[in-house]
Amino acid sequence: MGANGESTSGTASSAKKLEHYLALGSALDSSAAAVDLIGAATAEPGLLAFQELLELPGVRALEKSDEAACRAAHGLLLTFAYGTWSTYREQADRLPPVTPAQELKLKQLTLITLAGRSKVIPYATLMSELDLSGVRQLEDFVIEHCIYAGAVSGKLDQRRGCLEVEYAVGRDVHPSEVGEVIGALESWLESSDSLLRDIQAQVDWANQTSQAKKQHERQVTRRVEEVKKNIRAEMELRGGGGAGGSGGQQDAMMTDSQGPGLDMMDEDIRDPRSVRSKRRR
């Protein structure tokens, strides 16, 4: 399966998993259940979107809970929705400890974020942001846990020491970034409209040129026919309006660009003896 096929399959799988957790979240009856839901969702392989979970009433209630553990769980979900592995490390003292599955998920999300910012990511940046110590460890992580998982598509350039990104799945958009996203989309639409106008102008020009060429060809054809008629009429007048056969002979003379005289000249050129014979005579 190609990279695009894997990405499409991964996106569909992520959507189904999100629907499952949203269904569970709609029936939350306690803060403890909400905390458990967050722990399970953030560790679920392939689930990369969390904003809709944040909007569940039972989950929103954790943010203002009197219990520190509930607030910490809500903060962890925020990190998975909008943050990176660096974000978690900076706030680790205020957030719950993560399991190996959650750590892997956060690092996947981190790479997705980096891929959204740049199409060429140096190894040094990746190792720093992902907290990986060596090139082999980095390349294994990118290939096994990101490319094969459909989170990103690209190739590792060992010579240049970078990841060349072709595609990355989308992440949740923070409410503060919605305006920026809308602006980018509007700019893209304007560019697309401008491109379409340019293409249409080229199409119109091509059509006009084609029509002008066809009209010119028709004019030339009519002119040729008129010239032929005039020549035919003049030859008939010079021939005194002879038998109809003479008209056919005249047409043949007009259409044959190499008459008898030209044939004789060609024969003379091809046979030098005929030229010498004529000179002796």
Instruction: Give every CB contact of residue 157 below 8 A, 6+ residues apart in sequence.
Output: 163, 164
User: What is the Cα–Cα distance from 263 to 177, expressed in whole angstroms?
Assistant: 86
pLDDT per residue as tens digits for the range 26-72: 988 899 999 999 999 999 999 999 999 999 999 999 999 999 999 99
% of the chain residues with pLDDT over 70: 81
Residue 251 has pLDDT above 80, yes or no: no
pLDDT of residue 8: 55
Which pLDDT tens digit goes with each residue over 4-38? 555 555 566 778 899 999 999 998 889 999 999 99
**Band (180; pLDDT cuts 50, 70, 90):** confident
Instruction: Provide the pairing of β-strand 162-168 with 120-122.
Output: antiparallel
CB 105 within 8 A of CB 145: no
Q: What is the mean pLDDT of residues 204-224?
A: 91
Q: Is the dihedral of CA 37, 39, 43, 48 positive or negative?
A: positive
3-class DSSP state for residue 187?
Answer: helix
How is residue 248 written in tokens?
């056919």
Query: Any idea what DSSP says for residue 55?
Result: T
